[in-house]
Structure 1
Amino acid sequence: MSTPDVPTRGPARSGPYIVAGILLAIAVLVPLFVPAYSIDKPRLAGMPFFYWYQMLWVPITAGLVGVSYLLVAKEDRRRRAAARGARAEEQEQ
């Protein structure tokens, strides 16, 4: 949980945000490419591929969103800690 009273003015690293964006784009765009999975076979327990493939993406998307959240939250905590450290240094001077 973030603390809104501490500003996040520290330098932002773009890496975690780019990775999180790519993971979220995969979670959204891959299921939208319907021609890749609009087939009947292989069947799983009698269920056509079209349906079970879509259901497979539910936990995959949850995992991708979870990893994205953890990356962004970790970067937010780092920036807040840097802002707190800078503020403490200013008060000491």
Structure 2
Amino acid sequence: MNAILKFILLALPYFFMVLGVGIYMRVRPELFGIPFFYWYQLVWIFLAAILTYTVYAIESHERRGLNVHRP
């Protein structure tokens, strides 16, 4: 897989959590009484974990593929 795509997958949470303050700097809409600010950040915590694991799984699969061809 392309290294740039892996970088983008890992940079997305950073971009939307740190640089995207203008996106989540509000109270509405609420979800079960929880302001948008809190549940937006909580969702990104789980998404960041999923994206990080995805890149890790791709990397380990690629490395296993490289080891198969070695004598």
TM range (shorter): 0.7 to 0.9
Once superposed, what is the RMSD of the aligned Cα atoms? Answer: 1.4
Cα distance in 2, alignment partners of residues 70 and 26 from structure 1: 17
Q: Give TM-score, length-normalised by structure 2.
A: 0.86
The partner residue of 2:7 within 21, 26, 31 is: 21
2:52 alignment counterpart: 65
Larger Rg, first or second structure (1 or 2): 1
Q: Which residue identity does 1:18 align to in structure 2?
A: I
Structure 2: state its 5+ residue gaps.
Answer: none
The partner residue of 2:32 within 20, 35, 45 is: 45
Structure 1: state its 5+ residue gaps.
Answer: 1-13, 88-93
Q: Render the CA deviation track for 1:28-74: whole Å, top value 9, x for unaligned.
A: 21111111110110011111101110011111111101110011111
Q: Give TM-score, length-normalised by structure 1.
A: 0.68
Cα distance in 1, alignment partners of residues 7 and 57 from structure 2: 13
Moved over 2 A (4+): none
Q: Conserved in 2, the CA contact under 8 Å of 1:20 and 1:67?
A: no
